[in-house]
Amino acid sequence: MAESNASKLANNILTDGKFDATDVVGTLSGFTSTGIDDNATSTAITIDSSNRVGIGDTSPDAMLSIKGNTDDGATPTIRLKDQTDAREAFISNQSGDLILATSNSGDDTIDSALTIYTSEMIFKTAGQNRITLDSVGNLKVSRAGAAFNVNSTHQLVDSLANSYSLMLSNKSVSPASQYMFEIGFKSASPDNSSAKFIEANDTTTTRFRVNSDGNVYNHDGTYGTISDERIKQDIIDASSQWEDIKNIRVRKYKKKDDVLQYGEENAPTEIGVISQELETVSPGLIEGQKPNSSQAELHEDFAGENPQNVKYVKYSILYMKSIKALQEAMERIETLEAKVTALENA
């Protein structure tokens, strides 16, 4: 009876005490496997001496390196499918551009994606580009044409009474010195009516505008504040404003920043009040705010580690004080007119 291959192998190992190339078992044919191999016809997966793994890459230079067979986005490097192959997510590297995408059709048609190109980054939903971050840092939402451009076409589904295209919320518990929003020309000072900080338009006309010179305009010429009686209490007549208004000094002056920009001769002359002078008459009309960088250049009090506040005037309250003083003047005029009439008829 012929000795089996297994017996030969066992006897050889027992004879010389080792397993080497002379210990031949035989030849296997028709071998199949569901494991990690390709029937030994080529390298399937490489694991090098540094434990780096290469799939399709025989010289991995990362802990995991996966090399695709082609250089097009239609042949993903990594594909994640559902059980029915109807939906998938995939990662592709197309000429150095990274595509992270989902498809609901199972045919690599991109429905939603994050695509990182060498020049820009694009977010896509429902087959349409929604957000683009371009090569110079402009963020475009739904459309092009601005550094940050939001084009909202949907109502928000939430508990708010109104819907917003853009909402900024600061949830800090102590936002004492934080800024919610800043608009600025960082490389120029237009100071004119052509450049705009803000412009609000509808399909008919411009409704509101803030020019680069700080002037504010609106279509109907109205500016208001909430003044409903139902949100107020302790309502009484204001006291006399006669002496306050009489003692206010109205001045003409030029602003230092205008002089710096236009020169002393060309800087515009304005009319108004001086905070320090008004403060001696009506302190409640003055408030202080931390100086900004441009104001710090105008006076030494606004520079250094502990700068003094810049003093502002509450002009809206000053206007109301003036109305009260005007009413008092009208009463005095009417009283004098009555006396004059009585004397004329005596």
Secondary structure (3-state) at 119: coil
Secondary structure (3-state) at 235: coil
Alpha-carbon gap, residue 218 to 200, rounded angstroms: 9
pLDDT of amino acid 215:
94
Alpha-carbon gap, residue 164 to 166, rounded angstroms: 5
pLDDT of amino acid 206:
94
Percentage of the chain surpassing pLDDT 90?
Answer: 46
Per-residue pLDDT tens digits for 193-235? 999 999 999 999 999 999 999 999 999 999 899 999 999 999 9
Q: Compute the mean pLDDT over every residue in the chain, rounded to the nearest whole number.
A: 83
Per-residue pLDDT tens digits for 72-98? 555 778 888 887 777 888 888 777 788
Q: Are the beta carbons of 189 and 199 closer than 8 angstroms?
A: no
The token pair that represents 320 in the structure block: 């109301």
Per-residue confidence band for 239, with pLDDT thresholds at 50, 70 and 90: very high
Domains and CATH numbers, the chain: 1-26 (no CATH), 73-151 (no CATH), 191-227 (no CATH), 241-345 (1.10.10.10)
Q: Where is pLDDT greater, at 335 or 33?
A: 335
Per-residue confidence band for 39, with pLDDT thresholds at 50, 70 and 90: low
pLDDT of amino acid 38:
52
Residue 275: pLDDT over 90: yes
Q: Are the beta carbons of 75 and 68 closer than 8 angstroms?
A: yes
Residue 342: pLDDT over 60: yes
Q: Please give the full DSSP string across 286-299, using - where no structure is assigned.
A: EEEE---HHHHTT-
Q: CA triplet 173, 176, 182: central angle to 5 degrees?
A: 105
Q: Where is pLDDT greater, at 237 or 24?
A: 237
Q: Where is pLDDT greater, at 208 or 21?
A: 208
Q: 130 in the Ramachandran plot: left (φ > 0), alpha (ψ -120 to 50) or beta? A: alpha
pLDDT of amino acid 99:
83
In the sheet that holds 206-211, the strands lie side by side as 196-201, 206-211, 216-218
Q: Are the beta carbons of 90 and 73 closer than 8 angstroms?
A: no
CA 79, 80, 82, 87 dihedral sign is: negative
Residue 55: pLDDT over 80: yes
Alpha-carbon gap, residue 236 to 233, rounded angstroms: 9
Q: Which residues contact 180 (CB under 8 A, 6 or more apart)?
A: 168, 170
pLDDT of amino acid 156:
46
User: What is the rounded average pLDDT of the residues 166-189?
Assistant: 81
Alpha-carbon gap, residue 198 to 181, rounded angstroms: 12
User: What is the rounded average pLDDT of the residues 115-140?
Assistant: 83
User: What is the rounded average pLDDT of the residues 168-172?
Assistant: 78
pLDDT of amino acid 21:
59
pLDDT of amino acid 72:
54
Alpha-carbon gap, residue 286 to 295, rounded angstroms: 18
The token pair that represents 316 in the structure block: 């809206």
